[in-house]
Amino acid sequence: MTQDVAKRRVFYIPGYDPIHPRRYRELYRKEGRAQAQISGYDLTLAPKRGGGPYGWHVTSTQDGAAVEADIEVLIWADIVRDSMANSIPATYGQLLRTAWAYIASGALFRLMRLRKGPVIAALYPIFALILQLLVALGLGFGTYAGLAAYLGWAVSLFSVPGLLPFFTTGVSALAGLGVVFGLLRWFRKKDGTFYAYYLMHDYAFTARWGGANPPELEARMAQFGETIAQALQEDWDEVLVVGHSSGAHLAVSILADLIRAGRVPADGPALGFLSLGHVVPMVSYLPKAHRLRGDLAYLCTRAELAWVDVTAPGDGCAFALCDPVRVSGVGPQGQRHPLVLSAAFTQTLSPARWKELRWRFFRLHFQYLCAFDRPKAYDYFRVTAGSKTLAARFAGLSHAKSLITTAANKFTSVA
């Protein structure tokens, strides 16, 4: 077997995730071990060897070829956490602004022409938060009415003129408000179950800027670009950038900037870009996403990299099988990227495993980073720790049969 890669540098860009990046190391360790057992190869993790704030080292032997890979997480979780640091009333204000941004611009209705799943995911936190508020108000009013009736009867026994209305109304109102705010705080505390606040902050982060990147995120993306550019000057066989969920559209802009600036050397390592579970239209369909649309139109024509996009119809949080360039309305003549492939969960997961995961929507959104018990062309651990470059591994493959190219976007202006 021809070995293209003996040493690889991998940069993983997470989506909108406030959790410490160690979760990605442990996920890679657990799922990589499982995939290695299923597929019959060796894969072990060790501490990172240097460079970057967080990562790990991988040694793998696949099909008789030994490969070393250094994987680094490009962290923006602190920016995510800062964006989530809102009070309960402020979150409901976000709800109104975010709903208005997608509805008034027409983006919501156009997105439904692509995939209903991610649109439902976007609507879910709105309805969930409204339902939580209605439940809290209902129980609060019930507490107020019930307590007012009881106190009215109790105080009337003392026959104190003027005390009855003041006392019963004041105490009952305070108790009712206490129930309302107490229940809303409980809902927020349990958001690890409901995901309403998390998703609301996620969509609000994009909607607030109309599809543009906030300054602090642009600054962080520039830092990421510097880190990747440095690796492209080093002795690696391949530099692979992996963008998951909203991390995919960050990677698009970072890589476009590097190529425009002439920072991808022709005689350097092979450059690969793997986008997983992308949600690009949630951004590119907003009016101020000029930068992203321009970067999509530029990157898709470049020979400096290989770009493979993997999604799955079973992932209700992603725009499955949607060409992120063409559905954004900016697909130019001469477009060469990305190759759009399906992870086909119903085929690559056994019936028992699919039954177990089918309704765990957020877990399925991370399945691209996990083991498949019936793997086909796509195997995350072969891509990141195997002996072939991204381009060579998927050479000769065609787009998924159900590829979606509908250009439903009203806003196609570019930076």
- pLDDT, position 312: 98
242 contacts: CB under 8 Å, gap ≥ 6: 10, 11, 12, 13, 251, 274, 275, 276, 384
Same domain, 160 and 281: no
409 domain-assigned: no
Same domain, 99 and 31: no
Same domain, 239 and 102: no
What is the rounded end-to-end Cα distance, in angstroms, of the chain?
A: 44
304 domain-assigned: yes
Helices (H), 208-320: 215-231, 246-260, 280-284, 290-299
Q: State which of 149, 180, 205 marks the end of a domain.
A: 205
Same domain, 218 and 270: yes
DSSP H/E element including 62:
strand 55-62
Q: How far apart are CA 386 and CA 372, in angstroms?
A: 16
Same domain, 196 and 327: no
Q: How many CB atoms lie within 10 A of CB 198?
A: 17
Residue-range definition of the domain harbouring residue 299: 7-79+214-393
- pLDDT, position 62: 96
Helices (H), 343-389: 345-348, 351-357, 361-365, 380-385
Q: How far apart are CA 295 and CA 291, in angstroms?
A: 6
356 domain-assigned: yes
Same domain, 149 and 229: no
Same domain, 283 and 368: yes
- pLDDT, position 173: 84
Q: State which of 205, 230, 258 marks the end of a domain.
A: 205
82: left (phi over 0), alpha (psi -120 to 50) or beta: alpha
- pLDDT, position 2: 73
Q: State which of 179, 205, 231 marks the end of a domain.
A: 205
Local structure of 310: helix, strand or coil: strand
Same domain, 164 and 286: no
Same domain, 255 and 358: yes
Same domain, 146 and 286: no
Same domain, 50 and 96: no
CA 43, 236, 343, 64 torsion: positive or negative? negative
CATH number of the domain within which 333 lies? 3.40.50
55 domain-assigned: yes
414 domain-assigned: no
Catalogue the E-assigned strands of 63-210: 65-73
- pLDDT, position 149: 79
Residues of the chain with pLDDT under 70: 1, 51-52, 152-167
User: Could you give the number of structural domains in the chain?
Assistant: 2
Q: How far apart are CA 159 and CA 402, in angstroms?
A: 77
250 domain-assigned: yes
Q: How many CB atoms lie within 10 A of CB 227?
A: 16
175 domain-assigned: yes
Same domain, 90 and 180: yes
Angstrom CA distances, 296 to 91, 230, 244, 259, 267, stand at 31, 23, 16, 13, 25
91 domain-assigned: yes
- pLDDT, position 85: 84
- pLDDT, position 1: 59
105: Cα within 13 Å, side-chain hemisphere: 26
Q: Judging by beta carbons within 10 Å of its beta carbon (0-12, 13-18, 19+), is residue 253 exposed, middle or buried?
A: buried
- pLDDT, position 186: 96
